[in-house]
Amino acid sequence: MTSLATSSSATAAEATAAEDHGGHADLRLFGLATFLVADGMTFAGFFAAYLTFRAVNPLPAGSTYELELLLPSINTMLLLVSSYTFHRSGRNLLLGRMGPCRNWLLLTAALGAAFLAGQMVEYFSLPFGLTDNLFASTFYALTGFHGLHVTLGVICILLVWVQTRNGGRVTSADPFGLEAAELYWHFVDGIWVVLYGILYLL
Amino acid sequence: MPIPSSLVTLLVGMALVLSGLWVGYNVNLLPLDASANAPVYDSLFRVLFSIGTILFLGIVGLVVFSLIRFRRRSGDHTDGLAIEGNLLLEIVWTAIPAIVVLFVGIYSYDIYERMGGMSSLNDHSAMHRMPAMETMEASVTTAEPAPEGMAPVKAPRVWGGIGTTAGEANVLPVEVTAMQFAFIFHYPEGDITSGELHVPNGRPVELRMKANDVIHAFWVPQFRLKQDVIPGQPTVLTFTPTKAGSYPIICAELCGPYHGGMRSTVVVHEPDAYDAWLQKNSPVAATVASAAGTPTA
Amino acid sequence: MTVASPNDFQESLQPQGWLRYFSFSLDHKVIGLQYLVTGFLFYFIGGALAGVIRAELTSPISDFVSRETYNEVLTLHGTVMIFLWIVPVVNGAFGNYLIPFYVGARDMAFPRLNAVAFWMIPPAGILLIGSYFITGAAQSGWTAYPPLSITTPALGQVVWIVSVLLLGGSSIFGGINFIATVLKLRRPGLKLMQLPMYCWAMLGTSILVVLSTPVLAGTLLLLSFDIVAHTGFFNPALGGNVVVYQHLFWFYSHPAVYIMVLPAFGLVSEILPIHARKPLFGYTTMVYSILAIVVLGLVVWAHHMFTSGTPPWMRLFFTIATSFIAVPTGIKFFNWLATLWGGKLALNSAMLFSCAFIVNFVFGGITGVALAQVPFDIHVHDTYFVVGHFHYIVYGGTVFVIFASVYHWYPKFTGRMLNEDLGRLHFLLTFIGFNLCFAPQHWLGLNGMPRRVAEYDPSFTTLNQISSVGALLMAVSSLPFLYNVIVSAFRGQVAGDNPWNALTPEWLTSSPPPVENWIGEAPLVQHPYGYGVDEDSLSVQAATGRDLWSGAGRR
């Protein structure tokens, strides 16, 4: 990001100028990673609450922790594949191949949207509502909070997609927008894997 | 002849320790001790108070001494000594506090065990003795969805508190219900309900506590005991009163506007006075009074 | 988002003069002072609330305000003092002002995020205070334990949650910024182990903020669902579990104590060497003890819950873990004492407040170790003993350090000195008032006065009145302080760049400093505590503990 550091300095003197006038190496990915640690702790708190509830608070009669596994498993696959497609998009960007990069991006967004659609289908087919019992509330809170993250991710991907157009802000020389969205997306995927493990499989 | 600094240090240190011990054992900050574990608690308090006094006086002394001895005289613009550290000193003042807190931790663990805190609250033989717990659990679960999924024969779960010390017989069970803004005491051995807690001197009492609305806490300062009363999670508190008299029961957890007014009284009777109280109040007095009469040592 | 430097904006958008303090400024020094002044405004609001509490407690019956109002006041007092005064000031104000200097940078790593973090605070504060006048404030204490927080008037509680979420968000953004600045923005040639101690304190604090604040945010989200959507996470009537809330709450709120005191430790480590004219004693162990406090601070939360129905093994673990925090904390205090020993102590306001901090905090630390012992805690938990202990830590500890820091850095902020006589008067009144107010509360707690009550046993009246007199004295003590900081800004003695003859980088520039901190290159300060004379006659290697103790080498 040295190019942004000082608009006035000449290109040749950029490195020193960056040191002298408050500009510095691009720390935005580092900052995002720190933020994701914080975000992960929110999920960790939810997971801890869920596991404790499950360990010590019995469910009312007739309620069960059993969930239909088919749809969420497909959803898990969708997200895992989308992480791969995003990775491909990033590789293509760095190689300067904007066409494939944008296509892979679009595919990633589509997979994310499909995940959200699947989540909606699951919500409407579940036999319990938000306030039915402790498990139901926790289930919706956890998947809902994660779903918000996915929604935000899809929006980010689409924004990046717009910015990768010819003359857009995201280029192979300045890949920050895509890299940030990718880091975030992998994080959201990772959270889902944990969530799937403890909510559906456990 | 100048007195060597090491000797001064030694003397000051000894004076410090002695004064700390004197303060710890002679300054009484605590209310009357009226339960079997209160003297145990007080011995822990004295140890902590002594150690604390020694540390505090020592550090305050050092600060005040430094401020006077090393104050900058007017006109002096020189620096102090360029000492950046000293490994031996660092090791000493890491090791000494570590040893002290380890000692304090182990000692307080021992105290806690003597108070009955480490005894298992569930699967305890005392639990099976008491059918009262069953009725209490039933009344709790009516307020919430019944946990049918749980094993029905298992003793109901107790969530926390101070358990009975092993081997105690002749325990007096009392069911405590906390609500905004009162404690209700129910004696299953005689079906008495009271707004005050009446207990015989010298006999172990087991309070089975539940809350109806929000979290309350049952606290008797003279017994040195406190336990939160938590809605949905029955707790137990065991104690043996040792001094007859009336002591306040105080709610110690913010429970609403009248939290400060949520007080009651525990009356510790001599055993025969307690029997008289029982007989006066019990609808089935005659049968119970004889069974409840004998105190244990 | 771009990597902004204040330079870009200075020429175009950033306002100049006093107006910049009301603007979305990206200059870390402006943001720092914005935090400081905002924090002090909320301090006086919180102090007024404390005044209401102490006025109510001058008599054993509830007669000054209504019981509902009393609970609103105590909730607001706690929330304002913690989230709007201490956390923003010791982290946001001094952190933003000093950290870029200390690492040799022109600004924080993310100036715009920094400004956003600050500007989240005023709306949150106005929302919180406003809730009292418009909807009625929350009544469940700053801990907001359910089910009480679910059953008290919902609107005030929800506003409280929104406000705390905003403040938590602000705190997290600040933490991210500090971590990036300290770890990644150091001037070339400056090593981690050469940083001034406050950088380490802020690094540790920020790690705690980033790891623990989100857990509180998530918990409060769940609590708001319970209030608004009638879920049952923490509502036992719907099958929920109230103790889970307490665990999650204290997972943040115990580290929050370290978020409030670690920066104070850092600030004191800056102030003492300068006014004692000696190097900071034991730099390396000071750093490791901060890291140890961070690690231990994350695993001690349940000592707030010894009476909450926690299993015995948990009580034992948290007793031991909590006790052991005393070890790294003790190391820091002994190091400060050793820093004072053999120095040339200037008995100015900054030094007096710092030394009083040591005394007060040691007292609070001793009662803290006692409170960590389960049997001891069972008696005094949720009593005025805890109130006394807590205020010895956060007021006697952190607030005293804030005052010391104001006296110390005011010349840098404004270019003018504060009046020392008024400063010493302020110190004397504060120190006496503080001890008068909070020392008796320990006895009250031991003898049966629970906290958060509007009425109490009449036998406690005298001590409560003494405590209230102390509170009044503390209120009075802020008058000379206020007069001093306002008048000195215009008529104070001109300070010059480095009135304390200090070595840390913020003093190696003009007072107040220019927009980009230094004209020309940032200085490389590898020995921020390189004070002292006579290094030859008493080399560090040669000095043994016995030499030092017996005074060999002292002239």
- In tens, the pLDDT along B55-79 reads 999 999 999 999 999 998 888 888 8
- Prediction ipTM score: 0.88
Tokens 């601070």 label which residue? C297
Measured N-to-C along each axis, helices C94-103 and C197-228 cross at an angle, to the nearest 10 degrees, of 140
Q: How many CA atoms lie within 13 A of C86 on its CB side?
A: 27
Residue C385 is encoded by which pair of tokens? 């003993």
| Residue A200 near chain C (CB below 8 Å) | no
| Mean pLDDT along residues B103-126 | 74
Touching chains, C (3+ CB pairs < 8 A):
A, B
Residues 6 or more apart whose CB falls under 8 angstroms from that of C103 comprise C181, C182, C185, C186, C187, C190, C195, C199
Instruction: List Cβ neighbours of C102 (8 Å cut-off, separation of 6 or more).
Output: C195, C196, C198, C199, C504, C505, C506, C528
In the prediction, which pLDDT does C533 show?
Answer: 63
Residue B181: asked if its preceding bond is cis (omega within 30°), the reply is yes
Whole-number pLDDT of residue B162: 74
| Assigned token pair, B178 | 């906390």
Residue of B nearest to C367 (CA): B52
**Alpha helix stretches (DSSP H) within B70-153:** 87-114, 125-129, 131-143
Q: Give the C-alpha separation, B208 to C150, whole Å.
A: 25
User: Which residues of chain C are within 8 Å of residue B230 when distances are taken between CB atoms?
Assistant: 236, 242-243, 308-309
Strands in B172-179's sheet, in edge-to-edge order, are B161-162, B235-239, B205-211, B172-179, B182-187, B192-194
Contact C529/B84, CB-based, under 8 Å? yes
* Confidence at residue B74, expressed as pLDDT on a 0 to 100 scale: 84
Cβ proximity of C454 and C56 under 8 Å:
yes
Best interface-test mutation with B: which of A53, A54, A59 has the largest number of B CBs within 10 A?
A: A59
All residues of chain B having their beta carbon less than 8 Å from the beta carbon of residue C382 are 217, 219, 226, 252-253
Predicted confidence pLDDT, tens digits, chain A (202 residues): 333 333 333 333 334 434 444 456 789 999 999 999 999 999 999 999 999 998 888 887 777 778 888 999 999 999 999 999 999 999 999 998 999 999 999 999 999 999 999 999 999 998 888 888 888 999 999 999 999 999 999 999 999 999 998 888 888 888 999 999 999 999 999 999 999 999 998 8
Asked if pLDDT for residue B88 goes beyond 70, the answer is yes
Of C267, C249, C95, C264, give the one whose Cα is nearest residue C182. C95
Side by side, the strands of the sheet bearing B197-200 are B197-200, B263-269, B245-251, B216-220, B225-229
CA torsion A114-A119-A125-A131 (nearest 10°) is -160
User: What pLDDT is recorded for position A23?
Assistant: 56
Contact between B80 and C277 using a beta-carbon 8 Å cutoff: yes
- Dump pLDDT digits (tens) for C174-212: 999 999 999 999 999 999 999 999 999 999 999 999 999
The alpha-carbon gap from A140 to the nearest alpha carbon of chain B, in Å, equals 20
How many residue contacts between B and C have a Cβ separation below 8 Å? 335
* Angstroms from A62 CA to nearest CA on chain B: 8
Helix (H) or strand (E) holding B236: strand B235-239
Neighbours of chain B (3+ CB pairs under 8 A): A, C
Subunit contact C375:B255, Cβ cutoff 8 A: no
Question: Within chain C, which residues score under 50 in pLDDT?
Answer: 1-12, 535-555
**Chain C residues close to A48, C-beta within 8 Å:** 247-248
> Which positions in chain A touch B148 (Cβ < 8 Å)?
60-61
Q: Cα–Cα distance between A46 and A52 in angstroms, integer? A: 10
* Interface touch C214/A39, C-beta < 8 Å: yes
The C-alpha atoms of residue C495 and residue B44 are separated, in whole angstroms, by 53
One-letter amino acid at A76 equals: T
DSSP-based helix, strand, coil % in chain A, nearest 5: 75, 0, 25
- Alpha-carbon gap: B83 to the closest alpha carbon of chain C (Å): 6
Which residues in chain C have their CB less than 8 angstroms from residue A38's CB?
172, 175-176, 210-211, 213-214
- The answer to whether the CB of B243 falls within 8 A of the CB of B167 is no
**Do the beta carbons of residue C173 and residue C113 sit within 8 Å?**
yes
Report, in angstroms and rounded to the nearest whole number, the Rg of chain A calculated over CA atoms. 21
Closest approach of A131 to chain C, Cα-based (Å): 5
* Helices and strands in chain C: count of H runs, count of E runs: 19, 0
B149 CB neighbours in chain A (<8 A) are: 58-59, 61
- CA A38, A39, A42, A46 dihedral sign is negative
Contacts of C311 in chain B (CB under 8 A): 160
Q: pTM value?
A: 0.89
Give the residue from B92, B273, B105, B281 showing the smallest Cα distance to B194: B281
Distance CA C53, CA C61 (A): 13
- Are the beta carbons of C151 and B213 separated by less than 8 Å? yes
Nearest alpha-carbon partner for C148 in C237, C248, C257:
C237
pLDDT of B117 reads 74
Residue among C405, C419, C281, C283 nearest C352 (CA): C405
**Probe site for chain B from C323, C359, C550 (most B CB atoms < 10 A):** C323
Q: Which residues in chain C are contacts of A22 at CB distance < 8 A?
A: 5-7, 105-107, 516
| A60 chain-B contacts, CB cut-off 8 A | 144-148
Any chain C CB within 8 A of the CB of A138?
yes
Cβ distance C541 to B68 under 8 Å?
A: no
pLDDT at res. B164: 58
Residues facing residue B32 across a β-bridge: none
Residue A144 sits at the chain C interface (C-beta within 8 Å): no
Angstroms from C104 CA to nearest CA on chain A: 10
Which residue in C107, C172, C176 has the most chain A C-beta atoms within 10 A of its own C-beta, making it the best mutation to test that interface? C176
- Around Cβ B131, how many Cβ atoms within 10 Å? 10
**Contact residues, chain A, for B145 at CB < 8 Å:** 59-61, 133
Please determine, for residue B165, whether its predicted confidence score (pLDDT) is greater than 70. no
Assign B83 a pLDDT band (cuts: 50, 70, 90).
Answer: confident
Q: Answer yes or no: do A61 and B150 touch at CB < 8 A.
A: no
Alpha-carbon gap, residue C24 to C16, rounded angstroms:
12
Where is C214: in which H helix or E strand?
helix C197-228
Identify any residues that bridge with C383 across adjacent strands, giving them in sequence order. C450
